[in-house]
Chain A
């Protein structure tokens, strides 16, 4: 009887404890990364390669998603508005939704799979094959050498990828309006400009910087804390994708509440 009451509480207790412990280790990693920023000689030489890997290699998937999002947004807007609201609002909806929400969030989620998982698997493999230990014994700080270039590259490249995705999504929505909705270009552009504020673009950039920091640092965190061989690497990769997706969605709501 008592055991059946106590066990779930104990389970919850240890879950909370281990959550607190991982927040602690994550904080430790964050502080370490800030300190390691000073060691430019260690991360400097790697930043370009990481930027290429994180940015350039992510473009195809990000632009693919943006294209279809733009098309769907235009079609759904016209379906919703027909008869009630002037059709040029299709341009407004496509523009606003792409820039404020779907550009950053869908790209962020896609890249948590593309970039975050890749980082977790790479660093996880390095951890279980003792390459991280080897770095340490050769007097390289793994935070400065491995984490900093990846996280910085994420913070720099995510906004670029997202801005391109926004643009491609809007163009896709525009072409859809022209070809499938019998709208004219001036109509679409009128709607697009109607409620446009430059702040919207800044908001998109701020969001994508935080998402870039999130995806890369979560990937590094789970990668470096991998235990248990190849199986452990698989586990870290999955955890990294799940955790960064959840953090992205929470941050998304938080930033909307605070900044809009």
Chain B
């Protein structure tokens, strides 16, 4: 019941994004992946649900080889995985309620009434009670993100993947989302992978933090270990000092 990426390589055309990315996330654990923008954090996350397949290397989820799995079996696996997209990725032709209910409608045992009930419950959880009939275009960016969160947790998945769940949110909403991520782990035992820019968020919500740099995990450890690390890239990232990372300004 864990997630494991082994020596994953992924290139788009000539651009090598992942170059031997290896990470393991144990059951019930929440791990944050941090790194500059465009380093391939989203690409790494998409490998876990088979939205992207590795050029080389292996991706294991629940003891199954996701990288080689036939498409039809991927759909089964994905029922156990919730994915919170960076820009929410709400279906703009549907109401908020329909968006949140999308995954539930794939479950044959769920009746209309029980779907409506669960949708209301998930919206309440993200503080958007009664938003069912609104359209995605009518709500703010922060609200859209929370709807994306509600949609991902609606089917009570064992795994939750969060792609920058708090980026662009105000501090209060950020705290609300962080609290939700921690609750998912604490109360439902969800295994989580959080991609973030925000060091405070990363240290608050995760058991371990991994820094993605030049296609590989540069450093991983508990928040305490990471704060104490003397690796210059880690220091540069935590302290926001590009000169340490040897980056061109």
Contact = CB atoms under 8 A, between A and B. Distances in A.
B79 A139 contact: yes
A138 B102 contact: yes
A106 to B, nearest CB: 31
Interface string A126-141: 1001110111111111
Contacts of B78: 136-139
Counting chain B CB atoms within 10 Å of each CB, the highest count among A129, A133, A137 belongs to A137
B86 A130 contact: yes
B85 A133 contact: yes
In this complex, the interface size class of chain B, counting residues with CB under 8 Å from chain A, is 20 to 34
B131 interface: no
B85 A130 contact: yes
Interface of A: 126, 129-131, 133-141
A14 B231 CA distance: 43
Contact of A137 (B51, B76, B86): B51
Interface in B130-164: 151-152
A136 B87 CA distance: 16
A129 B79 CA distance: 22
Nearest to B157: A137
A133 B50 CA distance: 10
A139 B89 contact: no
B83 interface: yes
A133 B85 CA distance: 9
Contacts of A136: 49, 51, 74-75, 78
9 contacts: A129-B87, A129-B89, A135-B102, A136-B75, A137-B81, A138-B151, A139-B76, A139-B79, A139-B106
A137 B91 contact: no
Contacts of A126: 91
A136 B86 CA distance: 15
A134 B83 contact: yes
Interface string B71-113: 1001110110111011101111000000000110010000000
Nearest to B78: A139
B46 interface: yes
Contacts of A137: 49, 51, 78, 81-83, 152
A131 B75 contact: no
A139 B103 contact: yes
Interface string B163-187: 0000000000000000000000000
B89 A133 contact: yes
Residue from A126, A136, A138, A140 with most neighbouring chain B CB atoms (10 Å)? A138
A130 B89 contact: yes
A139 B106 CA distance: 7
Contacts of A135: 91, 102
Contacts of B89: 129-131, 133-134
B95 to A, nearest CB: 15
B51 A139 contact: no
Interface in B30-49: 46, 49
Given A138-B151, A139-B79, A140-B106, 5 more contacts: A131-B91, A133-B46, A133-B51, A137-B83, A140-B102
